Each structure stands twice: as C-alpha cells, then as structure tokens.
C-alpha cells in the first residue's frame, strides 16, 4: 500500500509536484501515467525517501520509507536512471545490495534466474543493453521479496518478448497480493498491464481511475454511421445536444446520442444502415487529450484534482 498525502516538491522556483494525493492498493497493477516531465520520477523518489517533499507526506506499507528497518523487504524499486554502478558485475551489484539486509546468496542467484540474466551475471553492467539493464533493475527490486514494488518505466528499451515478460511479471506480482506501481508515458502499454490508473500532468493529479472506467470514457460517445441516406438521417438526428459531422459522403460521425438510439431512429424511418459503430477513440488519444489540457493550464490556482472532468470539458 502506497499513500501520497498532498505531496509537493519545489526545486527553487519550479514546482515539480503540486499537492499530489493518491493511494495505491495491493492486489492490482497501478499505472502511473504522465507525459515526460510530469513529475512521475520526482514522486517516486519522494516515495522512496530519496527526495524530501517540500510539504506533504509519502507513506509506504504504513510508514515513511526511511522509518522502515528493512526497506528492501518492504519496497522494491527500480528508478528510471539505472541506479547501478557500470563497473560492477550484475551479480556483485545484487550481492552488495543483498548484504545490507543479510539476504542470502541463494536469493541473489534466484532473482538473477528470474529475470533471465544468468548468462551475463558475471559481466560488467557497463556493457549491458538497455533491456538487460532493465532486467537487472527489476532483479534489484524483487531481491527482498517486497510487498510493494515500484518500477519507473520498466518497459523502456525492452524488446517485444521482454515487454510481454514484464506484463506477465507485473500481473503475477499483483496476483500474489503485492502493491505494484508502474510508471509509463505510454497509455497503450498501461491499458494492457494495469487495472488502475493515476494520471498526472505538470505535477498535478489529473485522474485517479480504473482502466475500465478510463477506457469507457475514452470511448466517448461518438458513433460512426454509414448509410446511403446520410442527409436524411442527419436531419432526423438533429437536436440541441447532438452534433453530426461528416468527413466523407455517406458517413456521419454523431456525438450526443447512443448507437442504440440512432439505430432505432433509422429503423423507424426505414433507413438502411451499412455501418453503426461506437467509436473507440484510442486510449493514447484520450490520454493525450487529458494531459494536453494539463499542459495548457495557465493559472495553477483552483484546479480541481477530481476525476479528470476538466479534461473532458475542453
């Protein structure tokens, strides 16, 4: 369990994170989304006690990170900048971390096998590819068998096989009842991996929602209709809350009413429909719309931190 209570971090004049509150629950993968520079990494560093919040508090498994006597058994983390000395071998890196908690050599070899680095475990990390570095970062995070796992952009640099592996790993960790917080700037990746989403932009909370809810909202209410009697249907559908546009002859894009309603109107009037499709606006588009709004906010005052309704209104 991770709780952020009104976290704020300022670096001089610049506010990296502003009044950010959220809770990450165990048993599910929570995606932490935001464009680059949104404050994801800063937030994660505050969760780990590496950066001190200007105000507010971060609590992990019931305590401030620094108050844990055996933090690696509580929280395993991989931070974006690979926090690994390039001159050391992967195994020695893990052995050094393990030694701080008295974790056994057997466990070190176990996590090396788990992430598939056995063949290169004795090679210097400086020669690792980005993907191998990520795997080692994940091995470090899992070393202490922690209840909470925090990973910053774990799929960066992984090949398709590696991405699939991460996806299954994260789901498996959550299924074991762990708290899993994963940051990404790729909405599509999170849609496949996460069940819950925390979206931030410019250091503020934009949305704290389930992926299902986000997907439903992203789907929007646009319906694509194809018919030979497009103009007749357009006139029939007209109403105060309804907008109808057309990008090509015979195709209408309708917002404001459901596909069921359109179908019923067409049936009553005897209009044959060739196509009637609720439009799945892509998640990436929905995400960009949300965060674009966040970027565009000029006055930081009085911005709601609710469920992202502002994003939709724009």
Binding residues for another protein, rule: CB under 8 A, are 45, 48-52, 65-66, 68-73, 75, 77, 79, 81-89, 92-93, 95-97, 99-104, 107, 110-111, 113-114, 140, 142, 144-145, 168-169, 172-173, 176
Residue 242 to residue 268: CA distance in whole angstroms: 19
The CA distance from 49 to 242, in Å, is: 51
Residue 33 or 112: the one with the smaller Cβ distance to another protein is: 112
Our CB check for another protein shows the closer of 66 and 238 to be 66
- Whole-angstrom Cα distance, residue 80 to residue 32? 13
Q: How far is the CB of 3 from another protein (least distance, A)?
A: 17
Report, in Å, the least distance between residue 38 CB and another protein: 18
Quick one: 67 or 260, whose CB is closer to another protein?
67
* Residue 65, Cβ density class (10 Å: 0-12 exposed, 13-18 middle, ≥19 buried): buried
Judged by CB, which is closer to another protein: 167, or 196? Answer: 167
**68 CB burial (10 A radius; 0-12, 13-18, 19+):** middle
Q: CB burial class (10 A; 0-12, 13-18, 19+) of residue 107? A: middle
What is the nearest approach in angstroms of another protein to the Cβ of residue 130? 14
Residue 140 buriedness (CB in 10 A; 0-12 / 13-18 / 19+): buried
Closer residue to another protein (CB): 138 or 230: 138
Minimum distance of another protein from residue 242's CB (angstroms) = 49
In the chain, helix, strand, coil percent, each to 5?
Answer: 40, 25, 35
Q: How far is the CB of 106 from another protein (least distance, A)?
A: 9
């Amino acid at each position: 369990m991770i709780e952020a209570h009104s976290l704020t971090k300022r670096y001089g004049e610049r506010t990296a994170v502003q009044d950010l509150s959220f809770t990450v629950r165990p048993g599910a993968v929570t995606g932490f989304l935001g464009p680059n520079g949104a404050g994801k990494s800063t937030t994660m560093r505050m969760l780990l006690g590496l950066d001190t919040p200007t105000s507010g508090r971060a609590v992990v498994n019931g305590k401030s990170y620094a108050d844990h006597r055996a933090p690696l058994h509580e929280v395993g983390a991989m931070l974006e900048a690979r926090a690994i000395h390039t001159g050391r071998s992967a195994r020695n890196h893990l052995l050094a971390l393990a030694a701080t908690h008295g974790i056994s050599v057997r466990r070190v070899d176990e996590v090396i096998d788990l992430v598939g680095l056995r063949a290169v475990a004795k090679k210097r990390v400086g020669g690792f590819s980005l993907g191998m570095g990520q795997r080692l970062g994940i091995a470090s995070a899992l070393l202490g068998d922690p209840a909470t796992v925090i990973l910053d952009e774990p799929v960066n640099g992984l090949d398709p096989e590696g991405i699939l592996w991460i996806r299954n790993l994260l789901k498996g960790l959550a299924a074991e009842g762990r708290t899993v917080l994963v940051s990404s700037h790729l909405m599509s990746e999170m849609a496949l991996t996460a069940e819950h989403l925390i979206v931030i932009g410019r250091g503020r909370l934009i949305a704290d929602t389930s992926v299902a809810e986000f997907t439903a909202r992203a789907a929007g209410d646009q319906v694509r209709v194809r018919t030979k009697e497009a103009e007749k249907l357009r006139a029939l559908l007209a109403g105060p809350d309804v907008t109808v546009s057309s990008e090509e002859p015979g195709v209408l894009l309708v917002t404001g009413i459901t596909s069921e309603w359109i179908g019923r109107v067409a049936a009553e009037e005897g209009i044959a429909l060739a196509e009637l499709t609720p439009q799945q606006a892509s998640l990436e588009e929905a995400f960009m719309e949300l965060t674009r709004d966040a970027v565009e906010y000029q006055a930081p005052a009085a911005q709601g931190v609710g469920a992202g309704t502002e994003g939709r209104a724009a």
